[in-house]
Chain A
């Protein structure tokens, strides 16, 4: 009896799967304008202007004054990072920031790559453009756009950029990389109007690539970068040659998914579940309900009241650092919640972490960065693009400590041309920053599969 039911379910699922695949829709979008007031008459200024990150003594002194004014509240005894950023360790970070961190030096580091700004849909879009320096004869660099997420920035890619633009191996592909800042983040201007979601960001970035003369290119992203690059592939599949993602949460819950959740533990082989898959998904209630609930408070408040959530953080640099760096701790490894120092300096240097925080601080962009959450969930969890599959060649790098784990079977539901799926050796959510070598290796592997097929 049970076997018959099971067979019927599986058959039904297969039928549904086949039916679903045959109606692959295209994502539609309309143009937008995000500046203040009404758009001016006449054509938009499409010039590309070089940009330099700058700082001043006033900026640094103001920061130091505010750090000095911090009013610390001791953490509860033995609570480590379980209540959020531990107060004792936060004072150590603040002391380093106040006395040793050299923002001028970091600004020079940021400027080692050329930055630009250009106006698209009424707002200034910032990006870093890195070309390979030593390209062998007869070879062209492969264009690649890499999109960051929250609470990251283009700076997360500074470790991987040399590996992609000047690869060590002769037979590795050399990339020409564009790292933009999402509008509302860092040096990109924030939209003034409501409604700027990931599809709008995707459209803006497609226009950027077109303006830079790239007709076809690869895209890479994690966190919001995953969503935006996925939307780019859905909006213009001919422009996106290949999509490499390190984050692939499920948006569409279908019968096959439910079946795999119910039976995957007992019959992992049936669904292609690996040991890591089973470890990350079971026990079900703990891993799929309790853990996400514990870690999505920020998401909930940012998706509903971003202006309130960001208000205090824009005045208090230590508050901003605590809010952002808590993620760099917990999203790198959940076990870090039980460490007094959150394990923060095990995988990252304080210098790099604080440079990322400074990008949010000096541009005052924490509130606009949070608004992106509200704009993306304005119409609920099931927007049109969640129902549309991705039809460009895709590669998934599944890092073992990523926030949400996606087995190959689930990734295939959305990405119909899944070319590579790699279970990575180590690493968490901020993969490019934490494990640039591993990430670069997987991007190379993916490109070779896609280019090889040609």
Chain B
């Protein structure tokens, strides 16, 4: 058996060169074979057997309420059985019971659901049947101004949000005074809000993506932009992977980091000391480290909901569907903690610093009146059934133009070098000055500005 020490210099050089040569050839050949899209697949999610009749019509829809609905809500709020919180615990044990009573009192006595329903109906709503499910969406057209280019855009929400999160950003995108405006579609993910919940098992982000692509096709859009955060980020990414030829650009405010082994480990070890060596900026270092505390410990602290929803959604959501107060606590805890982790130490979770109770409770009412908390939770289980890192979309890159708005208080920070592992055409990457997970809801102007900046870059390169 020969060893490296026995080889002389020329033989060593030959060995090194041929290794590089083989490696390069393999890399190029492999690269050419790398898939640029993922299969569409198909599905049917209605009751029982699939019907032959295919209803492609689009029906206008209005959000409605009734005295019965409001009285029932009030009755249940009155029946709340208070539990004393521990002394000095802030929001560390979850939603603080003392502050919850204030929120609930507002909800019972001042919140006007009829007024909020009217607000929801300010934009036109529609429903259409796709793959056996009634899919709900809001369709906002731009008032055509002379000399204005109008581009189609779909905004996809996440959990525990809804299409309502986009109501503040909608006017900023559709009703602009300059040369660029957008025609916006805001759907509800099947199982959320006014979209029918799947009756069969297995409905994951790939299915939602395919359904939304069919929706855009049915509405007559051949090429469009996509924007999303939370589940919306994954769904829009899947859409761009399924039909890259239809997606002009993909803008995300949250990026899930898929582990890439050695590369990631190296950047974590070297990053804090020699950031430039691994492509990190000072801001990256500030947001990522101390890594264990910010990313592992904090993630463990905050992912209990994900763990139970990813395994026992029917159990987790059962009580929340009878108790509006329980539902509000569960959902609003996220609006507090995911906006800024420091809110965990405050008695009121600083909930009303960035949001109004009217807006927060309107979002909760969408889950309450449609009884969609359980189906919304099932989405977690369906997506984690197969190991998410082995699924076809995790092993495939994204080749459409992409833009990322990195908000400082987002749950996970993804530096540009890591984003590049999967997104092969990143046109803009911005460190946002402030804001957390619910970017469109909390900082609509900042998000709109960054999105438009991204679109201009993409449109500019096209000409």
Contacts and interface: CB of A to CB of B under 8 A. Distances in A.
Interface of A: 36, 66, 69-71, 73-79, 83-87, 90, 190-194, 293-298, 300-316, 318-320, 322-323, 326, 364, 367-368, 371, 374
Given A192-B84, A312-B329, A301 B319 contact: no
A389 B333 CA distance: 40
A311 B199 contact: no
B390 interface: no
B97 interface: yes
Interface string B319-340: 1111101110110010000000
A299 to B, nearest CB: 8
Nearest to A373: B304
Interface string B261-300: 0000000000000000000000000000000000000001
Interface string B340-384: 000000000000000000000000000000010011001001000
Contact of A83 (B89, B200, B314): B314
Nearest to B315: A84
A74 to B, nearest CB: 8
Interface of B: 76, 79-81, 83-89, 93-97, 100, 198-201, 300-305, 307-323, 325-327, 329-330, 333, 371, 374-375, 378, 381
Contacts of B198: 76
A72 B80 CA distance: 19
Contacts of A302: 304
A158 B139 CA distance: 61
Contacts of B100: 311
Contact of A73 (B86, B309, B321): B321
Contacts of A307: 83, 85, 89, 93-97, 329
Given A305-B333, A319-B323, A194 B83 contact: no
Contacts of B314: 73, 75, 79, 83-87, 322
A310 B80 CA distance: 12
Contacts of B86: 191-194, 371
Nearest to A315: B323
B68 to A, nearest CB: 13
A51 B310 CA distance: 42
Given A304-B301, A367-B83, A316 B318 contact: yes
A282 to B, nearest CB: 20
A311 B315 contact: no
A326 B88 contact: no
B304 A320 contact: no
Contact of B323 (A85, A300, A311): A311
Given A297-B307, A298-B312, A300-B307, A311 B322 contact: no
A142 B378 CA distance: 51
B310 A311 contact: no
A364 B83 contact: yes
A311 B319 CA distance: 9
Contact of B330 (A73, A79, A192, A308): A308
Contacts of A293: 307, 311
Contact of A374 (B93, B201, B303, B329): B93
Nearest to A361: B81
A297 B311 contact: yes
A75 B321 CA distance: 14
Contacts of B303: 300
A294 to B, nearest CB: 5
A452 B282 CA distance: 70
Contact of A84 (B300, B301, B313): B313
B87 A192 contact: yes
Nearest to A308: B94
B89 A194 contact: yes
Nearest to A297: B308
Sorted from nearest, which 6 A-B pairs have the closest CB atoms? A312-B326, A319-B319, A308-B94, A84-B315, A297-B308, A301-B304
Contact of B325 (A76, A295, A311, A323): A311
Contacts of A304: 94, 300-302, 304
A283 to B, nearest CB: 16
B378 A313 contact: no
24 contacts: A73-B374, A76-B198, A79-B201, A79-B314, A84-B312, A84-B316, A293-B311, A297-B316, A298-B308, A300-B304, A301-B304, A301-B305, A303-B304, A304-B301, A307-B95, A307-B97, A308-B95, A311-B323, A311-B329, A312-B330, A314-B83, A315-B322, A316-B323, A371-B86
A374 B300 CA distance: 12
Contact of B371 (A71, A85, A318, A323): A71
A31 B312 CA distance: 39
Nearest to B375: A73
A76 B201 CA distance: 6
A71 B321 contact: yes
Nearest to A67: B322
Contact of B81 (A296, A309, A364, A374): A364
Contacts of A306: 93-94
Given A79-B201, A194-B86, A312 B309 contact: no
Given A83-B312, A192-B86, A371-B93, A311 B330 contact: yes
A297 B83 CA distance: 23
B86 to A, nearest CB: 5
B381 to A, nearest CB: 6
Contact of B318 (A90, A309, A368, A374): A90
Contact of B319 (A294, A313, A374): A313
Given A77-B201, A87-B314, A312 B323 contact: yes
B75 to A, nearest CB: 8
A86 B318 CA distance: 10
Which of A296, A304, A310 counts the most chain B CB atoms within 10 A? A304
B372 to A, nearest CB: 9
Contacts of A367: 83
Given A192-B87, A312-B325, 20 more contacts: A74-B199, A77-B201, A85-B314, A297-B308, A300-B308, A305-B305, A306-B94, A307-B89, A307-B95, A308-B95, A311-B329, A312-B319, A312-B322, A312-B329, A313-B319, A314-B323, A315-B323, A316-B319, A319-B321, A326-B315
A318 B323 CA distance: 11
Nearest to B330: A308
A394 B302 CA distance: 38
Nearest to B308: A297
A303 B94 CA distance: 10
B305 A315 contact: no
Nearest to A313: B319
Contact of B378 (A36, A83, A316, A323): A83
A323 B311 contact: no
A300 B303 CA distance: 8
Contact of A194 (B88, B305, B375): B88
A263 B64 CA distance: 64
A297 B322 contact: no
A86 B315 CA distance: 8
Contacts of A83: 312-315, 378, 381
Contacts of B88: 194
Contacts of B326: 311-316, 319
Contacts of A298: 308, 312
A192 B88 CA distance: 10
Given A83-B378, A300-B303, A315 B317 contact: no
Contacts of A90: 318
B83 A305 contact: no
Contact of A308 (B317, B333, B378): B333
Most buried by A among B310, B312, B318: B318
Nearest to A290: B387
Most buried by B among A192, A193, A307: A307
A77 B320 CA distance: 22
Contacts of B79: 66, 315
A5 B180 CA distance: 71
A278 B181 CA distance: 65
A358 B317 CA distance: 20
Contacts of A310: 83
Contacts of B371: 71, 73
